[in-house]
């Protein structure tokens, strides 16, 4: 009980993170990782964690939270026929190869370059949200199997290193090749599970816990954060989805894109400059 009371501010902040991530996921359809990583990055620093340790723990914890949420999302999308199992089978091995390499790199190297990479990915995602909608597709169908293998490997590699589930990268890539948007989102849920489960396990088992890690961190995964964030993300995502029918989604998405761009640039500056 004393442990809980001593760490109550951290626990409350982690619960608030789950609410925030769930609402935004439902409102905007954005993946939890793109929200959870920067929130945890700045939150952990408020409680005395260094920037380089914070980005490592935020990345690993985000990936852990994606495992149960992606399972729930897969079930929902599969019922609607929006999960392309053929594509998942084709991409699975190459995603896994990218994930293994990426997650091993995270456990072996410092967090400075990791934060810079997240800042770049977040900034690109923000620019895509602001300016990428409605653009013409680059092709009428997916490219040959060699290009698809390269895409799958890169999605796994980058997503594992920055703590996102893969939708941030896979949905724009698939839709750029005239892939149906609903199916891209549903299939991205499956890609998220292929990325998050092995990456989170690798960082949990092989990651070296930083000396300044917050309470409840094992390997690089903060289990207290996992327990606090997951149920509230699942609970508040449907509420966010209902609010999306009331609030102007286009305006909200642009405002979030601006916030994400500022956040990405701030992370880049804090860790690199």
C-alpha 184: how far from its chain's center? 16
C-alpha 185: how far from its chain's center? 14
DSSP 166-229: SHHHHHHHHHHTT--HHHHHHHHHHHHHHHHHHHHHHHHHHPPPPTTPPTTEETTEEHHHHHHH
Quick: pLDDT tens for 226-272. Answer: 999 989 888 887 787 677 667 666 677 777 788 788 887 877 776 66
Number of domains in the chain: 1
C-alpha 9: how far from its chain's center? 24
Which phi-psi region, left, alpha or beta, contains residue 33 (left: φ > 0; alpha: ψ -120 to 50)?
A: alpha
Residue 226 in tokens: 């996992």
Quick: pLDDT tens for 32-80. Answer: 678 888 889 988 988 889 888 999 999 999 999 988 888 877 887 788 7
Q: Supply the angle between the helices 181-206 and 167-176 in degrees, to the nearest 10.
A: 150
- Tokens 């980058």 locate to 158
Give me the domain span that covers residue 8.
Answer: 2-272
CA–CA dist 134, 45 (Å, integer): 38
DSSP type of residue 48? T
Quick: pLDDT tens for 75-93. Answer: 877 887 888 899 999 999 9
């Amino acid at each position: 009980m004393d442990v809980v009371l001593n760490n109550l501010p951290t626990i409350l902040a982690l619960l608030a993170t789950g609410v925030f991530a769930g609402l935004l996921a439902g409102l905007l359809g954005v993946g939890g990782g793109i929200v959870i990583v920067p929130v945890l990055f700045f939150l952990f620093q408020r409680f005395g964690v260094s920037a380089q340790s914070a980005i490592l723990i935020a990345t690993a914890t985000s990936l852990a939270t994606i495992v149960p949420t992606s399972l729930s999302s897969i079930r929902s999308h599969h019922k609607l026929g929006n999960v392309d199992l053929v594509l998942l089978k084709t991409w699975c091995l190459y995603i896994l190869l990218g994930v293994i390499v990426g997650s091993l790199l995270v456990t072996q190297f410092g967090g400075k370059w990791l934060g810079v990479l997240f800042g770049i990915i977040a900034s690109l995602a923000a620019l895509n949200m602001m300016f990428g909608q409605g653009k013409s597709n680059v092709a009428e169908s997916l490219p040959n199997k060699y290009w698809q293998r390269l895409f799958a490997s890169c999605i796994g590699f980058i997503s594992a290193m920055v703590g996102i589930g893969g939708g941030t990268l896979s949905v724009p890539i698939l839709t750029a090749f005239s892939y149906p948007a609903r199916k891209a989102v549903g299939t991205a849920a499956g890609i998220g599970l292929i990325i998050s489960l092995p990456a989170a396990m690798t960082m949990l088992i092989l990651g070296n816990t930083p000396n300044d890690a917050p309470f409840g961190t094992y390997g690089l995964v903060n289990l207290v954060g996992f327990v606090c964030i997951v149920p509230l993300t699942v609970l508040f995502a449907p509420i966010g989805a209902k609010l999306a029918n009331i609030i102007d989604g286009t305006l909200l998405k642009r405002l979030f894109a601006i916030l994400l761009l500022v956040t990405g640039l701030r992370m880049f500056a804090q860790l690199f400059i």
